[in-house]
Amino acid sequence: MNPHLAQLRPYPFERLRALFASVVPNPQKPPISLSIGEPRHPTPRLLLDALAAGAKGLANYPTTAGAPALREAIAEWLKRRHGLISLDPATQVLPVLGSREALFSFAQAVVVPNPFYQIYEGAALLAGATPYYVNSLVAGDFAPRWADVPDAVWARTQLLYVCSPDNPTGRVMRQDEWRYLFELADRHDFVIAADECYSEIYFDEAAPPLGALAAAHALGRNGYPRLVSFGSLSKRSNAPGLRSGYVSGDAALVKAFLLYRTYHGSAMSPAVAAASIAAWNDEEHVRANRALYAQKFTKLAPAVCAVLPAHAPDAAFYLWARVPGDDADFARRLYAEEAVSVLPGSYIGRETGGRNPGQGYVRIALVAAFDECAEAVERLVSFSRRVG
């Protein structure tokens, strides 16, 4: 057995199950889950049709590099979405089976934001690296405090994970922050893994979140040196079960990663590839999906923010809300009394410098249909008034 396995913490949803194990949720109220970031809008028909049509390819082993048509569709989409002039599908794009497995297998030695998507930590630990946590605090508008990282840590860093739009805070990185990180990456020779799994969930059609490749492009960083972006269809196209995403950026890194993946054995099924091509080539279902989230955030978020201090997120589908007292205690009582589940923030943060930046927060995922979210928010608001 890999000795590093002993360092892994239980996944936050395991901890949530343990927290709720002895709780009987109020039987008068149908349970509503706002704890898991799983999209619950329906998967578009065009994906399902393409998936069925693509099933004839199941008779052959797929290649790790992926079907040229899929690499082409991803590259074209990235160029359209981020205004990139050049992106070579043959050398700068790689299909992956959702961004999670790719984010995981990419790790070497690692700096991670805090709170954070838990895969970054597991990847670092199992690679034998020591994660260094960079807090995102309300005082700094939830920008990760990169400037607090000592030079000695940057000097040892091989990989930096950046999440924008961020899970859980919903914050989007700005151009000046990217510039700062690119300069650090050049100076200390490390790689930036930009997790952009939420890039297509935003609220203003006229203002899509700035992407890492676009930030590099704007700075004239031709070839995207030291940068790899991770994207996914899971949230964009409501297809978390499809397991489809991409890695794109620095051709030398994409090449090395492809070599690794050839041994790892993570080639995409042709049926999944066919559905993915259909999804990347269509923007209409993505706009319709965004409209559903925009409606929920416009109509429901203000009620939550009125009782639990929370910023309206720049993007993604979470509210990162301050709660009175202990966050796990709040989540357990909310579940018991109102049958609504949310994720305690301390479960997705780590204590550094004597504080866990997730402590005292809960993550509320507005993923369910509008009426269900509205009902959950009503219960959450009345509960918060009672305990606040």
Q: Does 240 bind ligand PLP (CB under 6 A)?
A: yes
Q: Compute φ and ψ for 191, nearest 5 degrees.
A: -105, 140
Contact stretch for ligand PLP (CB under 6 A) within 51-59, 96-104, 219-227, 339-347: 96-104
Among 167, 229, 237, 356, binds ligand PLP (CB under 6 A): 167
Shortest reach from residue 187's CB to ligand PLP, in Å: 27
Residue with tokens 């991670």: 112
Instruction: State which residue, 54 or 245, has the beta carbon closest to ligand PLP.
Output: 245
- Say how far apart CA 222 and CA 128 lie, in whole Å: 32
232 binds ligand PLP (CB under 6 A): yes
- Find the binder of ligand PLP among 12, 19, 33, 37 (CB under 6 A): 37
Of 106, 117, 202, 383, which lies in the binding site for ligand PLP, with binding defined by CB under 6 A? 117
| Spatial distance between the Cα atoms of 192 and 250, rounded to a whole number of angstroms | 10
CB of 20 to ligand PLP, least distance (A): 20
The CB-of-355 to ligand PLP minimum distance in angstroms stands at: 22
Burial class (CB in 10 A: 0-12, 13-18, 19+), 159: buried
Q: Does 197 bind ligand PLP (CB under 6 A)?
A: yes
Q: How far apart are CB 317 and ligand PLP at their closest, in Å?
A: 10
Work out which of 43, 234, 248, 269 binds ligand PLP, going by CB under 6 A.
Answer: 234
Nearest to 199 by CA among 81, 42, 43: 81
Q: Where are the beta strands (DSSP E) in 25-155?
A: 32-33, 93-96, 110-114, 132-135
State yes or no: residue 270 binds ligand PLP (CB under 6 A). Answer: no
What is the closest distance, in whole angstroms, from the C-beta atom of residue 151 to ligand PLP in the complex?
Answer: 28
Paired with 230 in beta bridges are 195, 247
Residues 366 and 326: beta-carbon distance below 8 Å? no
Count, in order, helices (H) and strands (E) of the chain: 14, 12
Beta carbon of residue 99, minimum distance to ligand PLP (angstroms, whole number): 4
Among 39, 144, 245, 270, binds ligand PLP (CB under 6 A): 245
Q: Which residues are at the interface with ligand PLP (CB under 6 A)?
A: 37, 98-100, 103, 117, 163, 167, 195, 197, 232, 234, 240, 245
